[in-house]
C-alpha cells in the first residue's frame, strides 16, 4: 500500500487530482442531500440564502471557489500544499456549478424540474472523467519503471485518450449517458460514436438535413420509448425526483 501510494500517487503527481475528485464527489452528495431536505422541509436547513432579497444559488459560491482555485494554481507557489488547496477549491467549486448546470444552460430555475436532471448527467460524466484520470496509468513521473511496465502504461494512456475522444463525440451527439458508460466500456463508446446523433444535439443541428434528420428523430423516439423509464428512475435516485413542471421556454 505504501509503495503504491508513493509510486502511483505522490511520484505521479496525482495527489491534487485525488483531492479534487474527493472534494467533487463529497460536495455533490452533501449538496443534493441538503437541497432534498430543504425541498421536503426537514432538517435545520432553510432556502433563505439571500442578498438584498435576491436568492443566491449555490453555483455563485461555486464560481467564486473556481476562481480562487484557478488563481492559486496559476499564480501561487508551486508547492504540494498550495496545489492541494487549489485542487480542493476547484473540486468543490466545480461540483457546485455543475449541480446547477441546467439552470445556467436554460437561464431558468429548473433545478427540480425534468430539465434539471441534465445537471445530474453533467456531474456524473465529470466524476467519471476525474475518476478515470485518477486511476489511469501515467507514463510520466514514475521512477524505476521497466520496459514492460512502461509499455503497459503507454498503452493504457493511449486507450484512455481514444476513449475520451469517443466520449466527446457522444456528447456532441447528445448521448450523455452513452458517453458516461463508454468511458468504462470502450465498445459502448464506439457504438455511440458511430450511430446517428439525437436530433436536438449539436452534431445533428450542424450535419443532419432531410431524410437523415428524420431517421435520427425516429431512432431517438424508439430508444426513449424502451429505455427512458429506466434511465429516469436512475437519475431520480441520484438527484431526487422532479417535483415541479418544466417552465415555459423564454422568448429570445
pLDDT, tens digit, 9 for 90 and up, residues 14-64? 889 899 999 999 999 999 998 888 887 787 776 666 666 677 888 999 999
pLDDT average, residue stretch 186-214: 91
Please report the pLDDT score of residue 203 as a whole number: 93
pLDDT average, residue stretch 144-165: 74
pLDDT average, residue stretch 141-167: 73
Task: Output the nine-digit C-alpha cell for 107.
Answer: 437561464
Q: What is the C-alpha separation between 19 and 125, in angstroms, rounded?
A: 18
- pLDDT, tens digit, 9 for 90 and up, residues 81-132: 999 999 999 999 999 999 998 888 877 878 888 777 888 888 888 888 888 7
Please report the pLDDT score of residue 52 as a whole number: 62
Residue 225 has pLDDT above 80, yes or no: yes
Residue 250 has pLDDT above 90, yes or no: no
Q: What percent of the chain has pLDDT over 70?
A: 82
Please report the pLDDT score of residue 4 as a whole number: 57
Average pLDDT of the chain?
A: 82
The stretches of the chain forming alpha helices (DSSP H) are 2-4, 15-40, 59-75, 80-98, 101-106, 117-135, 147-172, 176-184, 186-194, 202-207, 210-239
Q: CB within 8 A of 198, min separation 6: which ones? A: 173, 174, 175, 204, 216, 220
pLDDT average, residue stretch 184-198: 90
Q: What is the C-alpha separation between 18 and 140, in angstroms, rounded?
A: 17
Task: Output the nine-digit C-alpha cell for 111.
Answer: 433545478
Amino acid at each position: 500500500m505504501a509503495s503504491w501510494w508513493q509510486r502511483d500517487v505522490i511520484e505521479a503527481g496525482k495527489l491534487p487530482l485525488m483531492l479534487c475528485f474527493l472534494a467533487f464527489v463529497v460536495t455533490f452528495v452533501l449538496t443534493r442531500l441538503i437541497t432534498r431536505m430543504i425541498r421536503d422541509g426537514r432538517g435545520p436547513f432553510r432556502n433563505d440564502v439571500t442578498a438584498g432579497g435576491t436568492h443566491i444559488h449555490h453555483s455563485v459560491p461555486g464560481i467564486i471557489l473556481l476562481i480562487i482555485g484557478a488563481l492559486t494554481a496559476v499564480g501561487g507557489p508551486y508547492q504540494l500544499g498550495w496545489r492541494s488547496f487549489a485542487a480542493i477549491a476547484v473540486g468543490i467549486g466545480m461540483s457546485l456549478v455543475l449541480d446547477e448546470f441546467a439552470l445556467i444552460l436554460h437561464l431558468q430555475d429548473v433545478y427540480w424540474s425534468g430539465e434539471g436532471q441534465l445537471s445530474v448527467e453533467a456531474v456524473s460524466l465529470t466524476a467519471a472523467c476525474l475518476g478515470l484520470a485518477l486511476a489511469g496509468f501515467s507514463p510520466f513521473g514514475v521512477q524505476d519503471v521497466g520496459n514492460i511496465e512502461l509499455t503497459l502504461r503507454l498503452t493504457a494512456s493511449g486507450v484512455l485518450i481514444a476513449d475520451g475522444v469517443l466520449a466527446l463525440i457522444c456528447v456532441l451527439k447528445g448521448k450523455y449517458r452513452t458517453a458516461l458508460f463508454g468511458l468504462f466500456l470502450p465498445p459502448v463508446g464506439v457504438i455511440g460514436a458511430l450511430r446517428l446523433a439525437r436530433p436536438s444535439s449539436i452534431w445533428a443541428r450542424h450535419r443532419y438535413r432531410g431524410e437523415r434528420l428524420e431517421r435520427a428523430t425516429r431512432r431517438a423516439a424508439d430508444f426513449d420509448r424502451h429505455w427512458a423509464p429506466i434511465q429516469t428512475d436512475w437519475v431520480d435516485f441520484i438527484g431526487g425526483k422532479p417535483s415541479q413542471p418544466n417552465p415555459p421556454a423564454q422568448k429570445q
